[in-house]
Structures are given as C-alpha cells and as structure tokens.
Chains A and B, each alone.
Chain A
Amino acid sequence: MNRQDAKAELVGHMKVLRAFAMSLTRNSAAADDLVQDTVLKAWSNMESFEEGSNMRAWLFTILRNTFYSSRRKAARESEDVDGVLTGKLAEKPAHDGRLQYADFLKAFDTLPPEQREVLTLVGALQYSYEEAAEMCGVKVGTVKSRLNRGREALAVAMQISENEPMELTDNATRAVVAANGGMIG
C-alpha cells in the first residue's frame, strides 16, 4: 500500500482509535500515549498490512496488544496490583436515584479492560463475535463469556438504580466483583 494512501486512511481512523483506547484505559493521557505508540507501530509495520483488508481492525489489534503488553509489564513492576485492582472493584458505585448515565460510566469503569474491550467491540461497534475474537486473539467462546459477564454486571447496576433498594447495593458490588472473577464472602 502506498505510504501516502496508508497515512490518509490512518488519519481517518484516528478519532475512533482514540475512542477505543479510552475504552481500555479510561484515562485521557494514557489513551493518548497508547494511540501514539499504536500509530508508530502501525506506521513502522505498514508492510504487514494487507491492502484491502480492514485497517481499523488491524489498528485495534495493534492498540489492544500494546495496551496489554504495557499492562503486563506494569503488573510485573508492582507487587500490589491485585490488591489495588480488588480495592477498585470493591468500590460501590453511587446510587442516588435512578442510575444515570454518569453512574453507568462508573459501573463501566469498574469492569476489567478485557470486558470493556468486548463490550465496546460487540456492544457499541457491532462487530461480530468472530471479528472481535480475531481482533482480541481469543476464542469466540471467550468473547461471549466476557461480553455476558460485562453485560450482567452493568445490568445489575441498572436494575438496582431503577428499583433503588439500598439494601441491594451490596449485591451490585457483588455482581461487579463476581463478574471480575473476584471472591466474595
């Protein structure tokens, strides 16, 4: 593919690429760094891109692989990653009345990136299970499992918000923790 054509197409995907980075990082600065790394890798490896194939999917794959590589590296450098993550997941979302969009965002933020990733690819962008599995480098069954657990956690949060029974707040936390594979008492 001609470099200038590739660049033009790359530029056209930038905003969507950054939005996907946001779905993984939930942090603007981290998303910008991730997109920058992704663009540089894509540009340096443009020869490996098959002309006529889906550049957006190719960029998504580079981005999410870069994200998880960095995350694993960070995990190796931190002794308390699990503890931090567990603490974050155990945070109860605020439930003051009906779950508003901001609350949905909070619930979304508590999910592990592996679930946010498939929720974004399949739920928001309407990629097929197969396409998402290929981008994520996992089996279709894994995509379905992550998607279901993510949706279930969000659904619990939404239903609790609608019914507003404060005594069920712990169940919401339990649902999120359970969806993340955490242990609950």
Chain B
Amino acid sequence: MSPVDKNLQTQIDDNLRRIFEEDARADLPDTLLTLLNRLDEVEVPQPAASSESGGLAADKDGATS
C-alpha cells in the first residue's frame, strides 16, 4: 500500500483524537470511583518484581504486529 496522503493523515489523526477525547471526557463508573476511594485499604505486598509493571520496557509481551 502507498503512504497515506498528508491531508488525509491529518483527518485521520483528528478523528483518532476525537475518539480518545470523547472517551476521556466520560465520567468514571462507580466501580472505579469506589476503587479509588478504597485504594488505601488495599493490602500492598512487599516489593516484588512483576512482569507487567517492572518498568516501561519490562514486558515485551509478545504482541504481534
């Protein structure tokens, strides 16, 4: 496939931004608000390496292109 025309790319990115902003404007559901309110009650384990949170490059995760 040929590269996307610059103007079209701008339109695409504008739409992508719109999708994201609409989702980001939505109110958080009660379940997440409750979670945040009760976060202090969550028992925090002593530091232990996690493959999913050990840093930005910690988990290559095998997602295919």
Contact = CB atoms under 8 A, between A and B. Distances in A.
Contacts, number: 163
Given A23-B19, A72-B62, A155 B12 contact: yes
Contacts of A135: 56
B65 A65 contact: no
Sorting the interface of chain B by its residue count into under 10, 10 to 19, 20 to 34 or 35 or more gives: 35 or more
Contacts of A152: 1-2, 4
Task: State the majority secondary structure of interface residues on B.
Answer: loop
Contact of A47 (B4, B11, B47): B47
Contact of A41 (B40, B52, B61, B65): B52
Interface of A is mostly: helix
B15 A7 contact: no
8 contacts: A18-B26, A45-B48, A48-B50, A58-B55, A61-B53, A101-B18, A114-B65, A134-B57
Interface of B: 1-5, 8-9, 11-13, 15-21, 23-26, 28-29, 31-32, 35-36, 39-40, 42, 44-45, 47-65
